[in-house]
Amino acid sequence: MALQLVPHFDLQVDVLRWLRAGTEGRGEGAGRLCVLEPNYESLHVLNVERNGNIIYTYKDDKGNVIFGLHDCRTRQNEHLYTFEKDLQAVSCSVNSERTLLAASLVQYTKEGVRNELQPGSKCLTLLVEIYPVNNVKVLKAVDSCIWVQFLYPYAESQPLPQNHLLLISEEKYIERYHIQITQEDGNRVVIKNSGHLPRDRIAEDFVWAQWDMSEQRLYYIDIKKSTSILKCIQFCADESFNLMVSQLSAQLVNFGCDTCQGQEKFGNHQPSLCVFTNHTGSLCVCYSPKSDSWEQITYSVFYLHKGYSKTFTAALRSADSCVTKGITFLNIGYYVAVYLPGHFLHLLNIQHPDLICHSLFLTGNNKMINILPHHPLQSLTGSLILDRCSGKLYKAFLNQSDLMWFLWNSSLDCEKMAALHCVLSCGRDPGFLEGQIIQWISEHVSTCHSFDLIQEFLIASSYWSIYPESSNIDTLLPYSSVLTWNTEIPGITLVTDEISLPLMKVHSLKGYWAKLNSNLEYVKYTKPHLYYHNSMVRREWHNLISEEKTGRRSTVYVRNILDNAIKVISYMETRNLEPRLIPLFQEEDNHQRLLMGLMMSELRDHLLRHLQGIEKKKIEKMVLDYISKLLDLICCLLETSWRKHSVHPWVLHLDRRGSAADFEVFHLMTRILEATDSLCLPLPPGFHSLHTILGVHCLPLHNLLHYIDNGVLRLTETTVVRLMKDLDNTEKNEKLKFGIIMRLPPLIGKKICRLWDHPVSSNIISRKHVTRLLQNYKKEPRNSMIDKSSFPIEFLPLNYFIEILTDLESSNQALYDFEGHDSVDAEFVEEAALKHTAMLLGL
């Protein structure tokens, strides 16, 4: 299944066995066990505290209510307290020192429904000194249910002189009690001034409340003038609180108890509302209204950190499908899981919710969701999931193996896109994951029509490689290569609405609040987005290449850019110590090194401008990680294809024909070139040389030259030198060499021509020499007669032309001594002209 629930606590295993073992240890026989056995059916979880300890309750054979605690660290159980009355516990909490116990108990009829008519049916909220006095103080005695919760200012258990207790009532008010404690006679802990406990009113007339035990946040909703206002109070160590206000246009749910009995009572008629946050500063409100439809179901997600909401309507499998359970919202890090048992599982990307294709929608026909429990589930902080009915606590995470299976077997582009991002966000074993994804890409590279699969993989994987280092990266680096998505997703309709951004009134912007504020500032003031793109790099790169052709480049500037490229390549080689099969990083591809160095410079400057408070060295390392990761992914794509098709090392020999394996690697390299070229991403040095050599093997001459003319194959000096030296002068090879030489830039062409000892090459050299000599030549009348004895062959036009060149060379020695002439003179021109003429005439 895509969403895997790993058992963290099991009431039957971790508690029930201990209870039975304790009964046997007290010497009670089998008959006694039989008496106790039915009462253990009342065993259920009541609360999970911030430190992970789990409070549970059950009844003994006399109906007494017993409270116990399971320590999540030691995996040990501890008896807390016993109430010798036949009551039903609806809420319970213990302070971090385990010296005070707060509990709410209600009298129920045999049918499990609260008795509103009989006298004495009030809800008792009690505060108990656990050790050693056992004094009991009644905090409330009312007709409505009350939920209790001790505040834990610190995650670790530390002795505190004062405890704070929240009381949340069905009568729509929230109070906080301040409990002073003191020690007497050694270890005895008692409540100071228990006759009068100070308290303050936190909220009144709310309609819904939710407690975040890990972050010690209380969310509640007020209705003011037909507008729903969400408020949040975070109880900090200094007893101050943070306040955030936001307006929601939705009819919300009244607060009620969420015990098993309450859930069974309300069933699917109760609407569902959850608030989820994570460490990146996201804030989501998930809401599912009451629905009796058997054809479709609707829910909304308010992305408060983005400024908009999305309302999803999902078609159910068939018109006669009965919805017996309500929607469950689960927080699993970068995703919110929306689960309707037997019908669908939706994984909503809350970090990047802009495009629907980044969320995964699984239907009830998919085997990946049928293993999930059909019981109502409650999402706790830190990806913890509580199944109150079975008494099990799970840790939820995305299952990489199942997502990879889905990736291999999905047919829709939207499913491939979403599954790819889900897999990459897991991040537990990135090397293994990327190897599997690359294997999948090598077999499905041409199956996606809505997006470029290679582009998406390169951008998304490089993004995730540095994302954990800075949560603000999601606003600075592209997460996806796709900018818009208009393709419909089967069974899902979506409506997007703008909402007002939260109004924050925070005493100090730290931690989560600072990141949320950063997200809100980004939405308010940043237009257009701050995503890095290579447009500046592309322009500067083309300028440098143009200057290279004309010889006008700034030497110092280019040297700095190439130094950046050396850093990237060295960093990449140190991270990958294993030798590569493919012959890359073995040549000086100056154009790619320029692009690599420019990208490092631009990306570093971009992050320095917008990542305030982060050291320059750390940002430079992030840039090196990002670019080297990008290059490494390209190498891995080639390595995988190389191994898959068993390409032999002699592929680099130019005197052989290409095989089917060579063509497959050539095709993949062409797709990689297309993907990186449109984004102006650098390629590993040696890529173009290998690509061209494979092209020489696999393509007919006219196709090869056509690929070169259209930029699909890009000639490097290393490749052309090998072609000139390794290929013999057969008719076919002569045409190839001549076609390539004619397409070289002037500076490289002049150098390459001298490597090919052939009339065509000599003719090209001669033409360039003559052009240089005659560019400022002015024709003057000549009276001298040609001395035929000085020429070996009587060919008057050529003899006359050579005499002019000889005079120019002798009269202007400085012009003649230009750099790299390599003994090119009038005599060389004459010899080259004669050889080329003889070759053309077939003599």
Task: Please check whether residue 696 is in contact with residue 713, taking contact to mean a CB–CB distance below 8 angstroms.
Answer: no
Residue spans per domain, the chain: 536-756, 757-843
Arithmetic mean of pLDDT, 794-798 = 59
Distance CA(228)–CA(730), nearest Å, equals 84
Q: How far is CA 806 from CA 289, 765, 773, in A?
A: 96, 17, 10
Distance CA(659)–CA(647), nearest Å, equals 9
Distance CA(538)–CA(599), nearest Å, equals 9
First to last CA, the chain: 78
Which range, of 283-292, 579-588, 693-702, 792-801, averages the lowest pLDDT? 792-801
363-384 residue pLDDT tens: 876 666 666 777 778 888 878 8
Arithmetic mean of pLDDT, 342-354 = 91
Give the contacts of 621 (CB within 8 A, at least 6 positions apart): none
pLDDT at 770: 67
- How many C-beta atoms lie closer than 10 Å to residue 320's C-beta? 8
Task: Please check whether residue 602 is in contact with residue 434, taking contact to mean a CB–CB distance below 8 angstroms.
Answer: no
Arithmetic mean of pLDDT, 93-98 = 91
20-73 residue pLDDT tens: 876 655 444 444 343 344 456 789 999 999 989 999 999 888 888 999 999 989
410-465 residue pLDDT tens: 889 999 999 999 999 887 666 677 888 999 998 888 888 889 999 999 999 999 88
Distance CA(535)–CA(599), nearest Å, equals 10
pLDDT at 117: 42
**Residue 254 DSSP SS3:** coil
Confidence of residue 259 (pLDDT cuts 50, 70, 90): very low
Which of the 8 DSSP states describes residue 319?
A: T
Average pLDDT value for the chain: 80
Which range, of 452-466, 498-512, 585-599, 606-620, averages the lowest pLDDT? 498-512
CA 170 to chain CA centroid, Å, is 41
- How many C-beta atoms lie closer than 10 Å to residue 438's C-beta? 19
